[in-house]
Structure formats: structure tokens, C-alpha cells
Structure 1
Amino acid sequence: MADPRACVAAGWARPERGKVKINVDAGVKEGVGTSWGIVCRGADGMMLWGATIQARALYHPTLVEAVAILSGLQEAASRGIRRLIVEEDCEVVIEDLKKRRTGRNDIFLVYYDILKLCRRFDDVSFSFVRRSWNKVAHGYAHVLSWEEGRRSWEGVFPPSITALADADLINT
């Protein structure tokens, strides 16, 4: 039996059977706006759905990373997903959520909404991943053409995103 740590060392790792993995990423493009990407993949590594949200508003990058997680959880809940792993490449947000940190600024209001939404799932965990292991969500947030609003895909995905997802599977 293969050592599961070997998969993690190589890059993106498939979730265990019975769970899905949601990877999210966000960014701010100065002078343009804010964007975040979400991808949901099953235990076979195949993409189930993905989305990008792009807005003209400029927010602090850490806040947008938290909003990306909230959006991913909202999408998962609306699809009836019950067991999931959320991966993000912003370590401070992941650690804050794991520690259930509270405070009085905007990001903590988003954390509150995330943790409240987590009650709708049977099992949800948060993990920090390196950006190089989060390529598909990064692609949804940064690679696709900039177009204000929300776009989503299920079944058929943009070729640039499919190429990123296929490259991940080579390592798993």
C-alpha cells in the first residue's frame, strides 16, 4: 500500500472515498477588481464543478480568500454535499478557521458565516496547501478572462482549466 504522505509530497491529493475536495483561491488585480475561483473534485480526482466570481470592488486579499471559502461552502451546501475538505493557499485564513478566531473587523464576520455554515455539513475540514498544489482554483481565479459576475461550469470546463486538472492527476 502506498504511503499517503507520498501523494501529498507530490502535489494535489485526491480526497478519501465518500468526500469531495473543494479548492479555492482568490486575488486582487489592482485597478480592475477582485476575483476568486472554486473547484470541486471527487475521490477519482475528476472535476465535478467549478466557478469564478469577479467583481469590480477592491478588497484586502486576505478578506477575499475568506470570501472564496464561504462561496465554496455555499455552493457545496446548495448541491447537497455532506462531507468535504476545503483547501486554500492562504495559511492565515486556514489557521484562523481551525482555531475559530474571533474579532471585530470584516474578515471575522466572514469567518463567523463560514463556521455557521459548517454546521450544515456532516464533516468539513480545512487544509492549507501550497499554491503549486492549488493550480486549478488559482486558474479559475486568475487565468480565465476577466468578466464581471459569476460564471460556473459542470461537465464541460474551459480547456485551460481542464489542462491544469489533468496535470494534477498525473501526480496522484
Structure 2
Amino acid sequence: MGLGWVLRDENGGFLAAKNVLLAGTYLVKEAEALCVREALSWLKVTGLGRVDVEMDSQLVCNAIHSVSFGSAFGYLVDDVKDLVSEIEDVKFYFVKRSANRAAHCVSREAFSETGCGEWLDSPPSFLVNILHSDIMN
């Protein structure tokens, strides 16, 4: 399973991106929660805060805003909530999948020849057109 995320500034400009390839089979909601957890873990290491997390899984977004519940998915959401408590000012928003194309592109790239990576300051070539298109819309 490929996970990916993109960090942008308040104007939509590229700051960083990362993707990870994980072994295993997961339900979609679990994969989405895992991705948020991994992205927040990475963000915590960078020392950055004051971020808006946009995701195209309304189920995961709602779960993060709700009370805890006992299940594999619930425990993943609890991990996300624990990480949020360690990072300054994190907010979660649901967005349409079309608004999340860059993150999906980065996650798919985990399966390509170039594989997994982390890009800081300059976007990878496979992402440039999508980022440009997003800013223009």
C-alpha cells in the first residue's frame, strides 16, 4: 500500500512531500487513518505546527472529531489524536477527492521505478503539473 502526503504553504505553494510503501492489506478507512498518522508523525519530527490537514475521507475526518471507540480503526484514530496533542494547532478538514490530487499522485509514486522518497523545497518532477494546475484553479 502506498501512502503519500504533500505539505503546502497558505498560498498553495509546495513545501515538502513524502511517500511510504507499506506491506499488508487494509480497509480503505484504515489506510486513510494510517496515512494521516504517518504524516503527523513526520510533521512532528520536522517541528512544524499550525497545519490544516485536508483529507478526502469523510469517515476518517468524522472519526477524528468524534469520541473514541474500540476497534482496529478506532485505535488508529486514537493514535492520530495522540499525535495531534503533541503538535501545535492541527485542524482537520474534509475535501473532495479532486482537491487532493497531489497527495494521491505522491502515494501512487511509491509503486513506481523511482519508489519512495521525501522531497523538500522543490517538488518532484511527477508532481509539478498537478501543483501548477491546483494553484490555477
Q: Which residue of 1 aligns with 2:107?
A: 141
Q: Secondary structure at the match of 2:3?
A: strand
Code of the residue aligned with 1:163 in structure 2: it is N
Identity of aligned residues (%): 25
C-alpha RMSD over aligned residues:
1.7
**1:151, 1:145 → 2: CA distance?**
8
Unaligned runs of 5+ in 1: 1-33
Asked whether 1:40 is paired with 2:7, we answer yes
Q: Structure 1 residues 102 and 145 mapped into 2: Cα distance closer, same or farther (>3 Å)?
A: closer
Q: Structure 1 residues 145 and 80 mapped into 2: Cα distance closer, same or farther (>3 Å)?
A: closer
The CA deviation at 1:155 is 2.3
Code of the residue aligned with 2:7 in structure 1: it is C
Q: Tell me if the contact between 2:19 and 2:110 (Cα under 8 Å) persists in the aligned partners.
A: no
**2:14, 2:95 → 1: CA distance?**
18
Q: Which one of 96, 108, 121 corresponds to residue 155 of structure 1?
A: 121
| Cα distance per residue 1:108-149 (max 9 Å; x no partner) | 11111111111112211111110000010011112x261597
Q: Structure 1 residues 88 and 50 mapped into 2: Cα distance closer, same or farther (>3 Å)?
A: same
Code of the residue aligned with 1:139 in structure 2: it is C
Asked whether 1:107 is paired with 2:73, we answer yes
Query: Greater share of strand residues, 1 or 2?
Result: 1
Q: Secondary structure at the match of 2:129?
A: helix
Q: Tell me if the contact between 2:105 and 2:127 (Cα under 8 Å) persists in the aligned partners.
A: yes
- When the two structures are superposed, what TM-score results if normalisation uses the length of structure 2? 0.91
Higher relative contact order (CA 8 A, sep 6+): 2
The CA deviation at 1:150 is 4.1
> What is the aligned length?
136
Query: Greater share of helix residues, 1 or 2?
Result: 2
Code of the residue aligned with 1:97 in structure 2: it is I
Q: Tell me if the contact between 2:5 and 2:18 (Cα under 8 Å) persists in the aligned partners.
A: yes
- When the two structures are superposed, what TM-score results if normalisation uses the length of structure 1? 0.73
Q: Which residue of 1 aligns with 2:38?
A: 71
